[in-house]
Structures are given as structure tokens and as C-alpha cells.
Chains A and B, each alone.
Chain A
């Protein structure tokens, strides 16, 4: 695993050395992390969405034996973020577990690692459609919604206006052409009144923000996609984006 360690260290160094762009939702300032997490420094609160633990094994159940390392890849990125930012609270915005039996399929090693992490701070599992009842084995509180000042954290975004809503569910990604080359990345999508978070899980796919599913959420082109680069997050105006 020496290779993986070196890569992770290089990446970590790169991330530390970079100032993170921020966006404001109803005045609350979030720093956006290239791993796909948002950091509400004022509350020392870290938000991630759609972890989809054990998506790999869900496929394995159907005869497609994807590498069983998605859970630990996802946990490792969470651990690195927690170590770097030292949050008081972590909010997982639903669909943290790919399905209702995900916890049973998780390797004991990964399970112990997740429990250790979730018990090291205030951990809030927001219920999602994949995990309406998140497993209790890993500690933390389960909530349908969480309110913090002007902000509401929930899994599934609601039609506009939804002032101050921080949600996941849709796995937003955006595509843009730079000098003709097409780049497609996961992204944060925000118009200043709400934010839709990118999926954090290692095997989670993406749905383009220009898809009709976003029509009632981010109407028109008055929003930005904060696309995830290797070391930083890059805001791109919706007008510049491409559909899939």
C-alpha cells in the first residue's frame, strides 16, 4: 500500500497548501473542500452527502464483484478531513448507507473504523431514501432534518424557494469545455439561497446539473457549479456548462 500512502500524502500536502474557495448560503459561509465536503467554520461543522457505504458489495450481491474497497476509500477521506479540520459536528446528509443491509455486509474492520470515527465527534446521520433508518451500530444521532441558524440540512432538496437548504440526493456533477477538452466532475451547486452537495462515496455516479431534475431547484442559469479539481474547487457559471 506504499503507493497509495504516498499518493494520499502528496494530495494532502497539496490541499493544505491551497486556500479554499467559499460560498455563502443565506449569509452563512462554507469553505468547499476538494474531497467534496463543505466546512461551516463558524459552527465547526462539516457536511458530507451520499456516502453510499457498501455500494460495491451491493453490486457483488448481483454478481458484479466490484473491488470491495469503496467503503474504506470513503472512510479514509473522511478521516483525513476530520484530522485536518477537527470539526465539532459532522453531518452526513443521507444515503450514507447504500441500502438497508449495508451495515451487515461491511467488513468488521471497516465497521470498527467507522464507529471509531463517528464516536470521535458529534455525528449526525440525516435519513435518506436509501437509508430511511440508518443503522445504530456506528453511534451518532439520527435526524430527518437539522436546523442551524438560517440553514436547514436535509437529504432531498425541495422545490424553490427553499431558503437556506443544504441537501444532497442528486449527486450533482457538471461538465465544461476548457479549450475544447471536456471535463466532467462532481460539483457543489448553489445559487446563494441553497446548496446541493456532491456525492462523497467512492463509487457514487453523478447527475448533470443541467438535467431536468434540477429545474425546480435551480431554475434558469443563475447558479454556479463548484467543480471538484484535484486540489481545489473551481466555481463555474451555469451558463458555461454543458449537458451530458
Chain B
């Protein structure tokens, strides 16, 4: 950082600031000055910069310049508002900002306001605001709902949105966008600065920042910092030379085979972040690393199921530089800068190009040194995915963002919030809401329905008018404004603000085998918490991986899932959720391309290359644009395996729909299993033969119309939809959020929201809240949008390959029918044997 100072650059700053930069031996970066210059003209801007580029200082420099040049005020008024997705980040950024403020001796007050801020300080902050306030989207919504919002925000000059790429494309982002629209009304001169990592479509964020005009579109200015040094990324594959025994697994997500090499990497570096995709994987990797940890290196664990206190301890140790490695989930994708991290290890495939770049950026926040990362594929498909991701990262390619339509349940929450602050004119509020980019295409009719929903539930049966939560203000002739009907309504809003609905969790407790009625059975080891919906899918006797064990599910007792230890090598449950994030569309296309381009196979390890060669010889390779469907008999059943590469969620939906169709056509399907890359369905009749006899042409089986009636019929009964409805009902304020210690557990809320869902679906299927639910499910848990795009893409391009036995490419998904990985060496051997038979069958050349 001791580059020679450029007098010209420094002269752009007031002497006080120039001296400060000089005293640190720094020089202001071009993008920092560019932002300051734009701010001086009152312009809003998006800054795209890699980590370590001084983004935070860039965002605040305009505010500091402003505030330094003003006379000392008699009473402070809010000047700058900073919003981050993480409260920890708000606290950290405050600390970072206090340094220049103190060193330049500026009279600027900086405070944070999060869910942890004590009540008395929050009240004081509203009376006596600081110059700069650091907060979260939820706190902004709350502040906007107070009657003094106009007074509080009227003086606001500058807004800084951190990690905007992570916020914008979510329900939280919708809530924030509506808050921004409100702020634009309260503080018309407000200028905005968005801070973002590199994204594929910066224009989406530039739109997000700006109030959108009724016609056309407004984009903020954009400043792009030079990218950092090119990252060094390698894909870890077991070397064949010394250890011929190690092979790249055909399936599974544990990457157990690679952990000795990961441990060596931890030994060879100063501090390593080991990213995994799921919490249970984090547990598993952590435990395995400690088994290998002969040097007793300080290796820690960080994931969302750990208590906040445990996480804070790890973060503090990390800041203090006392850890050599942290095994973590996406909880550390964003957040505090730890300068000392010199290597990022990504266990499993990264699922998206942008996610990988984000994670790589966590290593080495010094801009000019390359970040170093190692990708560790857990199976053969993941080798391909890692290679595709590496190529994308080196090109700096990003996943495209699905452009988001603002959620109606979030809008409902916002409208109630507005009413809590002051009476509003629906016509004016509609205009304001439409100025928020995610809500640009909201129709007046839908807006009206949401207002009705907020007021009376918006039902076709107008029975609730006298209980309306919104009342005409009617202070004067022609006053069309609506106000909150009572203080109770306002109280209700404040208790329920926010868009994050915690999934109900169940404790996992290990019990002794054989207890039939284990309620009250004391003892039993507490292993952690797991999502209720995961447990709901299990049947007694199913096994799953948690906390590094294969567990046998025994049943539920109150809010606990009771499990016993298992060593069953061929468990019943098809597979554990491999990654929470589905494979991104962009990365999927790159994987398909890798299949189609043999010349790119040179980077692949020999076993993977051979696997593809034999696939080409025994069957055919999936192409860039077609859909390969293989049909083959195996053990009295007929398998249909297809390779859409659209991610597990989309494949599960596709599996549900195809199974219904196959059933109707008389193929007698028995079950299916979906992976990130492929889908296998097994039937009693041969769908391949049925196709050739024109009984069931594949073109019809995969026709787009499956998204019509079949989807509707399935959705009606889907527990996924009921769960989505519950979330929408809570966010929209129809039913109240429950807090820990309140009378009902999540389990009971689910029960009652199911009753409501059933009655509403039967009597008013077009209700606005059901529409919000379908929209959510289509983009979320069901990924219907992606299924639709895939069906359109492959229309007329379905390639059927009828085989006499399983193909090499089908082996991984068929192994998933068995299991992920198993506990203990003996079982590993058992599984290997089972796999060998299948592989021998698949790769036999005659």
C-alpha cells in the first residue's frame, strides 16, 4: 500500500482528507474519487468492485466530505443511512468507519440500529438521530412505520446499500425497494450509492437504485473498479500415480476421499476457509478433519444451526487470527473482512459461477494479490461442474439474474406499514410503489386488491368491512386517504415486520434402539436441529446423514426427531439434499457444453475422461441443446433416465409430473429419484418400448402442457405449497408470526394455516394470497419456471437411447437410490461392492 502518492489525485480532496490518506500511506483509488465526484453533483451511483477494493470507504467518502464541510449543528439530523443484509456487517463497517473519522478529528456521530439494539437506545435514536446510522432492511421498514418518519428521514442526504447483489433479488430486496420508494418521497434530494460485487447484469441493480419514472426507465450512474488480480483456482482430483486405490466417487456429496488432501492444504496455509453447501455436510467435514487432525490445529465450525453465541465466538477467534481453518456454509459467503484468509476450499461443486467468485473473494482481501481457491468435487458429475465453474471464474463470467417481480405478500406488509406511519392516498401510494423497480409492472387492479387484502382480507365475500384494518381518514371533503384503524393494528404490524420466516426446526436426538414409546425417555444425545420439512419426508427406518453419522429415523416426539445410529449400507431414503442451492442455469449450460466438446476434456482426470468415452460408446453423450433420455431394464424394472441439468428442485417437480403421466399411460411407475443433473424413474413397463409402439411418444410425455392440469392437480395436494402458503400468510400479515416462548410451536401454526389454506382454496381459488403462493412456489421450491424453460428448449429435440443395461452416465443417479455415503470403513467397503456391480454392468464393453 506504499505506492507513490499522486499529487493530482490528492488535490481532488480537501487538505484534511488528503493529509489523512497520506498519513496512512494510501492514495485514494480512482473509483473512490469518481464516486465522490458523482455525489458532489447529487448523482446516485452503483459501485461494482471486488472485495478488498476499499468499497466501504468509497461508499462513505461522499458523506464524510459533506459532513466535514458543514458547520457544527445545534441539533443533529440524520444525514446518511447505511443498510446491509447482515447486522454483523453493520457493526463491523461502523468500526471501520470510526477510524478515519477519529483520525481526522471529524465531529460525526455514527450509530448502529439492529434487532439487538436495546429499546431505550432505539427510542433515543428517534429523538436524537446520529449523523450516520447503520442498519438492516427490517429496521428501515420499522423506522418508516413511525408517525415521525417524515421528520426523521426528511434531512436524509445519502443512502448506502451494501452487498446489493445479495439483497436485491429476494423478498427482502422487495421490502427494501419499497422502503427506498418511500424514502424518495420523504427525502426527494436523496442520493443513493449501491455497493456490489461483480454481477452479470449491473443494469438490474442500477434500476433498483433509482426511482423509476412512469414511462421508460431510470438508471443510476455506474462506477466499475478495476478487477483484482486473476484468482488462482485448482480442481482437486486424486492423483492416480501413487495411490491407484483412490478413485473419484460415482455419487455422493461427502468428498470423504479428498479430505486428507484438504487437511494437507490447511497445514500448508495460514488460514483456510472451507466452504460446504449444507449444514450436515459442514458437520461431516468438520468431524472428519478432526479425525485427521494429528497436529491439533485450531479448526472451527460455523453454520446456521449453531447458536448465535457459538458463531460469534468463532468470528472473534477468526478476527483475532487464532484459527487455522473454519468449516462453514453460506453463512460466511458475505460479511466481515478477514484479511488473513489465504486459501478458500470449496467442498463439492459451487453450483453457481457468481457464488464461486463471491467465495473466492473471501480469500486475500488485499486487492493486488491473487485469491487462491481449491475446488473439491465429490463425484464425477461434480468434476465436470467444477471444471466449468473454474473456466467461468477465470473469465469472470457471472450467473444471470432471473429478473424478479415484486412479491405481493411483501407489498401487503409495506402498505400496512405506510398506514401505520400516516394516512395515505391509495392513488399516490400506487405511483410510489410503481417507482420501485421490482413493482414496475404492478397493475392498478392488483394494487387495489392488495390494499383490500390489507384492510379486510380482500375476499369476494364482503363480510369483514366493519373489522377493516384500514379506515377512511375523511378529514375533509375529498380526502381519500386511508389510515390504520386502531393502535392494535399498528402493534400487530410492528410485531410481524420482515420477510424472513424461520423454517420450523426439530431437535435431533439419538436414542437407544427398541424404545417404542420414547416420549420422556430421558437422556439421548442432542445432535442439533434440522428442518421440520426434511423430517416430514422420512418414514421410520429411513436413514440420513446428520452430524457425521448415518442415522435411522425412528419417529417424532413433540418437537424432537428421534434417531438411532445405523450402519445400514443400502438405506431406503433416495438421497440427502446434496446442495441447498440448485445448479445455476448458466453453469448448467457450461457443463452441457463441456460434454459436447471433447477437446476440452484434456483438463479432466483420466477416470472421468474414460467414463465419458465409455458413455459415448455404450450410449451417447448429452448434447448442448437436446435432451438425452435413456431406457433400460434392470432387476425386473424398467428405468427411464433423462439428463436435463436443471438442478434438483426442478428435477423433483419434473419427476412428480412425469410419474403422473406415465401412470396414466399405463407404464406403472414405481418411484423416481432426482439429482442435480439427471432424473431416474422406474416402472413396471418399458417406456422406451411404449414410445416405439407409439403408445406413449416421448414428445408427448415431455410436452409443455404438463405444466397445466397435472401441475394444478399435484399442487392441490402438495405439502410444499401449504408450506409456501404459510410463509406468505405470515409475511402478508394474515396470520401472526410466533416468537420463541409464545404459546404455539411452529408445528401447530402449520396445522392451522393448512386449515385456512384448504378452505380458501376451495372457496376462493383466485384469492390474491393464493396467487402470491403460486408465484413463490413456481420460482422457489418447485422451480416450475426452470422446468418450463427446459421443456421449451428441448421440444422436438428429445433423443431416446434404448439400452440393454444401465449406462455409465446413469450410474450416479441410480446409486443415489441407494445412498450418499455411509459411516465407517466396513460400510464403505459394502457400498463399494454394491457400486462395483453396477459399474461393471455399465462399463462392460460387450
Residues of A bordering B, CB below 8 Å: 1, 3-4, 7, 57, 60-70, 72-73, 105, 107, 177, 179-182, 184, 202-203, 205, 242-244
Contacts and interface: CB of A to CB of B under 8 A. Distances in A.
Given A69-B763, A105-B463, A242-B519, A180 B538 contact: yes
A67 B492 contact: no
Contact of A67 (B467, B558, B763): B763
Contacts, number: 104
A177 B519 CA distance: 13
* 4 A-B pairs closest in CB distance: A180-B540, A65-B457, A69-B763, A67-B760
B464 A205 contact: no
21 contacts: A60-B467, A64-B734, A65-B464, A65-B467, A67-B459, A67-B759, A68-B459, A69-B762, A73-B759, A73-B763, A107-B461, A179-B539, A180-B538, A180-B541, A180-B555, A181-B538, A181-B539, A182-B556, A203-B755, A205-B748, A243-B519
B305 interface: no
B774 to A, nearest CB: 14
A66 B755 CA distance: 10
B542 A180 contact: yes
Nearest to A201: B755
Given A1-B763, A63-B489, A177-B556, A68 B464 contact: yes
Interface residues of B, number: 42
Interface of B: 456-457, 459, 461, 463-464, 467, 469, 486, 488-489, 492, 517, 519, 536, 538-542, 553-558, 734-736, 748, 751-752, 755-756, 759-765, 767
B558 A63 contact: no
Nearest to A3: B765
Contact of B751 (A60, A62, A179, A205): A205
Nearest to A66: B756
B463 A61 contact: no
A134 B467 CA distance: 23
A61 B759 CA distance: 19
Given A4-B762, A57-B463, A73-B762, A63 B555 contact: no
Contacts of B469: 63, 65
A239 B765 CA distance: 40
Given A7-B762, A61-B467, A242-B519, A180 B461 contact: no
Contacts of A7: 762
Contacts of A66: 457, 734-735, 756
A97 to B, nearest CB: 15
A97 B107 CA distance: 66
B461 A68 contact: yes
A135 B557 CA distance: 43
A27 B343 CA distance: 78
A69 B538 contact: no
Nearest to B464: A60
A202 B756 CA distance: 9
Chain A CB within 10 Å, residue with most, of B489, B541, B759: B759
Contacts of B556: 177, 182, 242
Nearest to B556: A182
A64 B736 contact: yes
Nearest to A177: B555
A151 to B, nearest CB: 30
Contacts of B542: 180
Nearest to A4: B762
A105 B752 CA distance: 22
Contacts of A69: 459, 461, 759-760, 762-764
A63 B488 CA distance: 8
A65 B733 CA distance: 9
B743 to A, nearest CB: 12
Contacts of B457: 60, 65-68
B517 to A, nearest CB: 8
B612 to A, nearest CB: 40
B553 A68 contact: no
Contacts of B760: 67, 69
B752 to A, nearest CB: 6
Contacts of B456: 60, 65
A70 B456 CA distance: 16
Contacts of A242: 517, 519, 555-557
Nearest to A203: B755
B665 to A, nearest CB: 22
Contacts of A181: 536, 538-540
Contacts of B492: 63
A70 B764 CA distance: 12
A127 B760 CA distance: 30
A205 B752 contact: yes
A64 B735 contact: yes
A70 B757 CA distance: 11
Given A105-B463, A181-B539, 10 more contacts: A7-B762, A57-B464, A61-B467, A63-B467, A65-B469, A66-B735, A180-B541, A203-B752, A203-B756, A205-B751
A57 to B, nearest CB: 6
Contacts of A67: 457, 459, 756, 759-760, 763-764, 767
Contacts of A107: 461, 463
A114 to B, nearest CB: 15
Contacts of B486: 63
Contacts of B538: 180-181
